[in-house]
Amino acid sequence: MDFNFSLPGSVTDGSQIGEILAPIREQGPVFWNDTLQGWMICGYDEVKTVFKRHREFQNGRSPQRSAFGYDAMLFHDTGLHNRLRAVWANEVLPQAVNQRLELLGRIAKTRHAIVREKLAADEAVELVAVFQDYTTDITTTLMDVPDQRRADFKRWNAIISGTSQLALLPGDPRIAQRDEARAELFGFLATEMERHKQMVASGSPLSNLTLMMIAAEGQEGITGQVVLDNLVNLFLGALDTTVRWMGSIVVHLLQNPDVLAAVTCDPGLFPDFLEELQRHQSVVQVTTRHLETEDMELGGQTLRKGDMIYIMPGLAGRDGEIFPEPNRFDIARRPDSEKSQLGFGFGFHQCLGMHLARAEVTAFFKPLLEEMRDWDIASMDYGASWSLWGPVALNIRRRSTSS
């Protein structure tokens, strides 16, 4: 099968990911991809099995390891992973996230004001930039980045987000730009580490995510480099994904007025909408592992020790055995927890920030739902690759009263 992660053409509807995925799904729940030289895992049960069996399916050979922090928790499958995860685990539980709702609401409000002002002046608004500002404001607040450096964070975020790894072909000039932004980000976080180290040394309470990770340095396997890599991972993992999701939310609501009407009339449906959108249009369409241990049967195939594995959470969401009429978007689907969408992964490495991500998008959109009825999409661009799904540019306008 001819295969690549490039988008075949321009995207005019967020649901188009279904058409892109269909020929892959037809190959079966598990199949060998010659181009990738690895197994593609597409069936719901099989995807869940790979996520669950973290001793067998490990992540240390991920091609993304060089783009993210090399020693980020996502790339460790041993006790070091657990020690790193434990550092932030309590801060991202639903109770802790709920205590931050007011903060999120305040940050959202400043961004809403900018959107409203432009729309009132009949100007187009590029929402992806707004979402980048919003998510960067949240992350930098949680990481205690000084106000005067937030603009740099936004710039790095925009460059790195716009050049996600699988989207770029060798020789693309944006690779150098991305690498420069990454180097600046690493350099900046290294100086931030020094500042926070002094705070820890002088007995400062561990009141932000940076301080917490710094205080963990010295635990078995947690070196200064490991601390730095995990700070970078937090920055990269938290922003691009949430920004893409926010774009998909807008596109879906504006292209499906019945869904927008449903969540506006009953905001209690908003969480259902978010879960169904992650199933139908997962942000993370592919992630990887390799088979570390013994040969294994999965989905009728024999996987060999050492084989690369491409996990497809978005295709798991389109598995008709689990989700009847999988291509239909159905806000009332509400699968039981055994069959929940896998867009945030599952098991050992399940997204650490998923409750925060849900709270961020809810705090941003709930106050806007009424007025979104007057928005139109002026233009959108989903970038060069479908491996991370969601717009990289999204212009909206106020609907003209004559239409």
Residue 176 CB, nearest distance to ligand HEM (Å)?
A: 27
Tell the smallest beta-carbon distance from residue 401 to ligand HEM (Å): 35
3-state secondary structure of 370: helix
CB 221 within 8 A of CB 75: no
Residue 365 binds ligand HEM (CB under 6 A):
no
For residue 85, the minimal CB distance to ligand HEM (Å) is 5
φ and ψ of 352, to 5 deg: -70, -30
The number of angstroms, rounded, from the C-alpha of 144 to the middle of its chain's C-alpha atoms is 21
The answer to whether residue 247 forms part of the interface with ligand HEM (CB under 6 A) is no
Closest-by-Cβ residue to ligand HEM is: 353
**Binding to ligand HEM, residues 56-95 (CB under 6 A):** 73-74, 85
Q: How far is the CB of 213 from ligand HEM (least distance, A)?
A: 11
Contact 390, 277 (CB under 8 A): no
> In Å, what is the CA distance from 231 to each residue of 198, 199, 237, 348, 388?
17, 17, 10, 19, 21
**In a 3-state reduction of DSSP, which class is residue 206?**
coil
Number of residues binding to ligand HEM, judged by CB under 6 A? 22
Nearer to ligand HEM, 24 or 234 (CB): 234
Q: Classify strands 393-398 and 125-126 as parallel, antiparallel or unpaired.
A: antiparallel
If DSSP codes are grouped into helix, strand and coil, which group holds residue 282? coil
Among 43, 345, 383, 391, binds ligand HEM (CB under 6 A): 345
Distance of CA 130 to the CA centre of its chain: 17
Stretch that binds ligand HEM, among 148-156, 162-170, 194-202, 280-288 (CB under 6 A): 280-288
Choice between 132 and 241, CB closer to ligand HEM = 241
Q: Which one of 16, 140, 241, 341 is in contact with ligand HEM (CB under 6 A)?
A: 241
Whole-number minimum distance, CB 397 to ligand HEM, in Å? 26
Q: For strands 30-33 and 38-41, give the pairing.
A: antiparallel
User: What is the H or E stretch that residue 19 is in?
Assistant: helix 17-25
Query: Which of 238/316 has CB closer to ligand HEM?
Result: 238
Q: Which of 24, 67, 234, 263 binds ligand HEM (CB under 6 A)?
A: 234
**Cβ atoms of 224 and 232 closer than 8 Å:** no
What does the alpha-carbon distance between residue 215 and residue 48 come to, in Å, rounded to a whole number?
34
Shortest distance (Å) from residue 347 CB to ligand HEM: 8
316 touches ligand HEM (CB under 6 A): no
What distance in Å separates the CA atoms of residue 100 and residue 108, rounded to the nearest whole number?
12
Q: Residue 264 or 288: which CB sits closer to ligand HEM?
A: 288
Decide whether 331 or 357 has the Cβ nearer to ligand HEM.
Answer: 357
CB atoms within 10 A of CB 49: 19
Residues engaged in binding ligand HEM (CB under 6 A): 73-74, 85, 233-234, 237-238, 241-242, 245, 283-284, 287, 343-345, 349, 351-353, 356-357
